[in-house]
Structure 1
Amino acid sequence: MKRKIIEKRERGVSMADLARTYSRSTSTICSILKNKDKIKEIDASKGVTRISTQRLRILDNVEIAPHMDKRKQLQGDTINENIIFADLVEKTPGSSMAEEQAFKGSCGWFEKFKRRIGIQSIVRHSEAASSDTKAAENFISDFKKLVDSEGYLPQQDFNCDETGLFWKKMPKQTYITAEDNALPSHKPMKDHLTLLFCANASGDLKIKPLLVYHSETPRAFKKCKVQKSRLNVMWRSNNKASVTHDLFTDWINEVFGPSVKKYLLEINLPLHVLLVMDNAPAHPPDLQDDLHDEFKFIKIQFLPPNTTLLLQPMDQQVISNFKKLYTKALFERCFEVTEGTNLTLREFWKYHFHIVVCLKMIEKAWEGTTKRTPTSAWKKFWPESVVECT
């Protein structure tokens, strides 16, 4: 193909026409014409359609990727593209060329290099950047001693955590055909609520979630004649739709305590419970004193500061798995309503999707979170519980 491009160019065909004919950019055509003498000298074997240049020695040194030092990453150092390229710019050892050759790599080469080595670019969030690895290691050791001394079983160990849910939000990215060069804009729905999830290490007891919304009695409740006491969540409200100390304490005494007590009595285990949580503002240190007398068997264990991302079981795929299942249910609902109609997405949101439908999908997604998901989430700081449950 390169030879044909060269021949046509020598016959007077313009570079723009060559680019359109062979579906290549004009810069690619320029590069081919620049090296036309070398291309003409190459005598490829019959049937060979791909020609590879000799691999430079420096690329052998590149493959070991010394720049990807995991110790630096754990210490909080940021490794970006500029740092990687700086590490790769070295002299080629033992080069047979007259002049020593320094490493040079294009953006395309770097993308293939990342896939070959198995590295990827991620966003370092503030919580991840401030994680205290040493404190996490110490907590793992202390937690094991506590579990062994107190005799806690996976059925008696629980973890809870909050998460925000934009219940009308669709994914930002979508696919379009090559003929379409644009897509009508869609204003994202920013209406959100907060959910509190909790489950034990054995994964066979998922507690009824706490849901905090900005409205005490939404219009859809009156339309659908909803009774809050029969909802699959504990419904609460405030202006910011966030969990507060009082709301969390109510959930502990009204939902968590009774559910755990009933569960342990049914499986003939002693009333001996450990609830692990982070030190969020809604989880004050004196929470133990706010428990009702009948739930004093519940012991509160706080994670060290800046270790939530490293240790919190609910953050280890449990909440993300719930949100994937919720998004799946959201799409199913959208397709079910709009299929065979002329409804737009905006009309679907306005007339066919409200908070009552959202509650049904939350229930479906939380029930769809399998026993294996919360069980495997504890393997980071209590791997023995995973083995026992398996």
Structure 2
Amino acid sequence: MASKRKRVVLSLADKLKIIEQLDKGVTGKKLSEIYGVGQATISDIKNSPILCEKAKILAEKLGYSSFEASNGWLRNFKFRHGVRELDLAGEKLSADSAAAENFIEKFKTASESYDPEFVYNADETGLVWKALPKSSLASKRESSASGHKVSKERVTVLNCANSTGNHKLPLLLIGKSRNPRAFKNVKKLPPLQLCLPNGKEGSKVLLIVDNAPTHPTAELLERENGQFKTTFLPPNVTSLLQPMDQSVIETMKRHYRRQLLRKLLIEGAEDEELVLENHSKINLKDCCYMVAEAWSLVTAVTCVE
């Protein structure tokens, strides 16, 4: 019969040392042997928020020696003060700030000969066009809230506007079906109302796009009349420099969600079953109308912020 491991209580100083050693690359197995604890304990320390450790330090300095920064305390603290936990991942973490600054300096020189109204930016985004909210409010008397199957129906939308925000091109929407059933007998989908720059036909146009491998080459984009120039953003700077990523696309999606929920609530009133039934009937044609309306609601101020 295996002997029971002696319970080891690690001090705050020990836990901080373990965190430092984990940051330096020391394995959990090695640390468990050094400190005489299980690997699960090391894993818990690794996943324990630094906020708890800082709270203990502050409590000790204030004279509260018996304070325990438990997971329950942390959860309640975050709830009271509106603290969110974000993953340190994605484009912004890997963004190349030096490349971004270098591009900005070169772009200032390259764009000097262009009218700001003819400097455009385009970017595509995925839109899960039937997605409903994942959370809901409930009264204290309600122990749970009914759910719904998460929709994964997705289209790709291309947004394009000029740098002054007074000209937004019609959206390009790409779906999966070549001939969607919803478009049967539809002669024309709603175009956006355009606000074209006046009296400047024939001006040179500069288009800024990111360097995604799916994008056409500059030669293909510039083949029309010699007045069209394309500039590609360097790798790993999209989150820093892509104008459409600086709240423009996000704002359009918010307007779209509002359009979707309004359609469900107006047509379904307060009957939950009818709301879900109407949701199942929403098709790609409805999506086109709603996303066009959402794009029209994006203001020039949002485009230039």
TM range (shorter): 0.7 to 0.9
TM-score, normalised with respect to structure 2 = 0.73
Q: Distance in 1 between matches of 2:152 and 2:187?
A: 26
**Pairing partner for 1:366 from 278, 288, 295:** 295
Q: Distance in 2 between matches of 1:140 and 1:118?
A: 36
Deviation at 1:227, TM superposition (A): 1.9
Indicate conservation of the 8 Å contact 1:163/1:194, yes or no.
Answer: yes
Q: Distance in 1 between matches of 2:65 and 2:239?
A: 44
The one-letter amino acid of 2:157's match is L
CA 1:115–1:169: 2 relative to 1, 3 Å = closer
Q: Distance in 2 between matches of 1:151 and 1:211?
A: 32
Asked if 1:138 corresponds to 2:102, the answer is yes
Indicate conservation of the 8 Å contact 1:90/1:103, yes or no.
Answer: no
Q: Distance in 2 between matches of 1:371 and 1:94?
A: 52
- Counterpart in the other structure of 1:42: none
Number of residues of Structure 1 aligned to a counterpart in Structure 2 = 259
- Counterpart in the other structure of 1:167: 129
Asked if 1:158 corresponds to 2:154, the answer is no
Matches within 5 A, 1:109-148: 120-147=84-111
Q: Distance in 2 between matches of 1:131 and 1:214?
A: 31
CA 1:186–1:113: 2 relative to 1, 3 Å = closer
SS of equivalent residue, structure 1 residue 151: coil
Give unmatched runs, 5+ long, in structure 1: 1-78, 234-258, 377-390
**Pairing partner for 1:195 from 147, 154, 157:** 157
Asked if 1:205 corresponds to 2:205, the answer is no
Per-residue CA distance 1:245-280 (angstroms, 9 max, x = gap)? xxxxxxxxxxxxxx9xx945x333651121111111
Larger relative contact order (Cα-Cα within 8 Å, sequence gap ≥ 6): 2
The one-letter amino acid of 1:373's match is T
CA 1:81–1:153: 2 relative to 1, 3 Å = farther
The one-letter amino acid of 2:49's match is N
**Pairing partner for 1:232 from 163, 188, 191:** 191
Matches within 5 A, 1:260-339: 263=196, 266-268=198-200, 271-284=203-216, 286-294=217-225, 296-339=226-269
Matches within 5 A, 1:84-95: 84-86=51-53, 90=57
Indicate conservation of the 8 Å contact 2:256/2:294, yes or no.
Answer: yes
- Which is helix-richer, 1 or 2? 1
CA 1:90–1:167: 2 relative to 1, 3 Å = closer
Indicate conservation of the 8 Å contact 2:118/2:205, yes or no.
Answer: yes
Q: Distance in 1 between matches of 2:131 and 2:251?
A: 16
SS of equivalent residue, structure 2 residue 151: coil
Indicate conservation of the 8 Å contact 2:131/2:151, yes or no.
Answer: yes
CA 1:115–1:137: 2 relative to 1, 3 Å = farther
Indicate conservation of the 8 Å contact 1:203/1:371, yes or no.
Answer: yes
Deviation at 1:370, TM superposition (A): 0.8
SS of equivalent residue, structure 1 residue 344: helix
Asked if 1:356 corresponds to 2:294, the answer is no
Indicate conservation of the 8 Å contact 1:288/1:299, yes or no.
Answer: no
SS of equivalent residue, structure 1 residue 300: strand
Per-residue CA distance 1:55-106 (angstroms, 9 max, x = gap)? xxxxxxxxxxxxxxxxxxxxxxxx98633444566599999x8xx9698645
- Counterpart in the other structure of 2:9: none
CA 1:293–1:356: 2 relative to 1, 3 Å = closer
Q: Distance in 1 between matches of 2:270 and 2:58?
A: 65
Indicate conservation of the 8 Å contact 1:91/1:101, yes or no.
Answer: no
Deviation at 1:336, TM superposition (A): 1.3
- Counterpart in the other structure of 2:50: 83
SS of equivalent residue, structure 1 residue 126: coil
SS of equivalent residue, structure 1 residue 274: strand
Q: Distance in 1 between matches of 2:121 and 2:136?
A: 35
Give unmatched runs, 5+ long, in structure 2: 1-45
Q: Distance in 2 between matches of 1:94 and 1:173?
A: 40
The one-letter amino acid of 2:138's match is I
Deviation at 1:127, TM superposition (A): 1.9
Deviation at 1:365, TM superposition (A): 0.4
Indicate conservation of the 8 Å contact 1:162/1:197, yes or no.
Answer: yes
TM-score, normalised with respect to structure 1 = 0.58
Q: Distance in 1 between matches of 2:99 and 2:115?
A: 24
Q: Distance in 2 between matches of 1:314 and 1:91?
A: 43
Q: Distance in 1 between matches of 2:89 and 2:183?
A: 37
CA 1:82–1:335: 2 relative to 1, 3 Å = closer
Indicate conservation of the 8 Å contact 1:91/1:103, yes or no.
Answer: no
**Percent identity, aligned pairs only?**
34
SS of equivalent residue, structure 1 residue 130: coil
Question: Which shows bigger deviation, 166-175 or 151-160?
Answer: 151-160
Deviation at 1:185, TM superposition (A): 2.7
RMSD (Å), alpha carbons:
3.3
